[in-house]
Amino acid sequence: MNILVLNCGSSSVKYQLINGDERKKLAGGVVDRIGMSGATLSNVRYDGDDIKITGEIVDHTVAIEYILAILLSRNHGVISDKSDIHAVGHRVVHGGETFSGSVLITAEVIKTLQDNIELAPLHNPHNLRGISACEANLPGTPQVGVFDTAFHQRMPKKAYLYGIPYALYSQYKIRRYGFHGTSHRYVADRAAEMLGRPLSELKLVTCHLGNGCSMAAVDKGISVDTTMGFTPLEGLLMGTRCGDMDPQIILYIMAKEGLTLNEAGTLLNKHSGLQGISGVSSDMREIIAEMNNNDRKAGYAFDVFTYRVKKYIGAYAAAMGGLDAVVFTGGIGENSAEVRKACCDNLGFLGIEVDDEKNSAKGKERNISKDDTRAAVLVIPTNEELVIALDTMDIVATMDQT
């Protein structure tokens, strides 16, 4: 079964066509600058053939048209008819409290997603646009929503309630939701396979460190706590997001600098994090390069970033009452030996000891802990698209049986 996996943003659509039975990516790419001049589609086929097309891509419906045209094209395509796409799987950012698993998209689901727009104003509207663009281009093809929040929906109340009046939770659903759930779920499953033990026996701390960063405490396969909160702003230091801080600070800055609500939001989401502290970049590679050039503020940014990860490893080991493995994933987690080493430094008391040679070796999935340590340290490249494709395939298979 071929599944078109879509991740629709405000001005971009990332896509992959995956053969779910063989777990094989047939083609993938991105449409960028939707609605702007110089919009492009870049496509890479499984055999490395790549092509970039520029066009008038005015909205998401046209973006999907371009994607279908390239997937069907004689020279660069991989399918011969639209009906070779058996289902579409969408990454949907916010499922609110309604969705604790992936669902077939129906009129009712769309209505619920519309009701959740306030919870994820930056993401859910574009996901909805992608869904209607597929209805227009692939009428009758089943569509499935896979939610970033779903994996964290089994968190206990003590982990998701904030210390504000309970009425604000009841009325506005203000609580911790957590994000990156598809990635945390994928790496937790892979960790169990790598360790050769059932997930139901394991206490894992999963660290998704990319532009956005979050960690999860995964106890017996259930996310029991996670660092992102009501929005993706909470928790770890990120490329441009501040993560944890005293909430009073923002009120103080707003008063001092006369900021509007929007300006305050932009400060915390776009001008903080690695970028804000270093003044150098939001990109960890540049932070490390400048730190190695003795740039003091780049060094502070690196230290705050890695210290927070380490602090949460300890916190989550305490929350679960033990630790079998720490898993690193995401662009930084998968690629930066320096970050992994600093995050795990001095954690021998938790059974964590990184082997420098294994840590600096290149490779895909691997265990980088010293031999015979109590806890493993794993590097696992994430694959959210595969999870979306497999969930979609499962849901479509159940439809076929009914």
Contacts (Cβ under 8 Å, ≥6 apart) of 57: 31, 33, 34, 35, 39, 41, 63, 66
Comparing CB distances to ligand ADP, the nearer of 130 and 331 is 331
Closest CA to 63 of 109, 29, 25: 29
Read off φ and ψ for residue 219, nearest 5 degrees: -105, 115
Q: How far is the CB of 305 from ligand ADP (least distance, A)?
A: 10
Place of tokens 């574009």: 126
Q: For every residue of 187-236, which 3-state class applies, written as one string?
A: HHHHHHHHHCCCHHHCEEEEEEECCCEEEEEEECCEEEEECCCCCCCCCC
- Binding pattern for the stretch 231-270 against ligand ADP, x by CB under 6 A and - elsewhere: --------x-------------------------------
Helix (H), strand (E) counts: the chain? 15, 14
291 touches ligand ADP (CB under 6 A): no
Residue closer to ligand ADP (CB basis): 197 or 285: 285
Say how many residues touch ligand ADP, by CB under 6 A: 12
H-only helix segments in 26-155: 60-72, 107-115, 124-137
DSSP state of 67: H
- Site stretch for ligand ADP (CB under 6 A), options 35-43, 88-96, 328-336, 360-368: 328-336
Q: Is 331 near ligand ADP (CB under 6 A)?
A: yes
Toward ligand ADP, which CB reaches closer, 66 or 305? 305
CB 26, CB 78: distance < 8 Å: yes
- Confirm whether 225 is a catalytic residue: no
Among candidate residues 148, 219, 295, 391, the one labeled active-site is 148
Q: Which two tokens stand for residue 42?
A: 């870049």
- Does 298 bind ligand ADP (CB under 6 A)? Our answer is no
Site for ligand ADP in 167-226 (CB under 6 A): 210-212
Q: Quick one: 226 or 336, whose CB is closer to ligand ADP?
A: 336
Question: Taking the complex as a whole, how short is the minimal distance between the CB of residue 176 and ligand ADP, in angstroms?
Answer: 20
Which spans of this chain sit near ligand ADP (rule: CB under 6 A)?
210-212, 239, 283-285, 330-332, 335-336
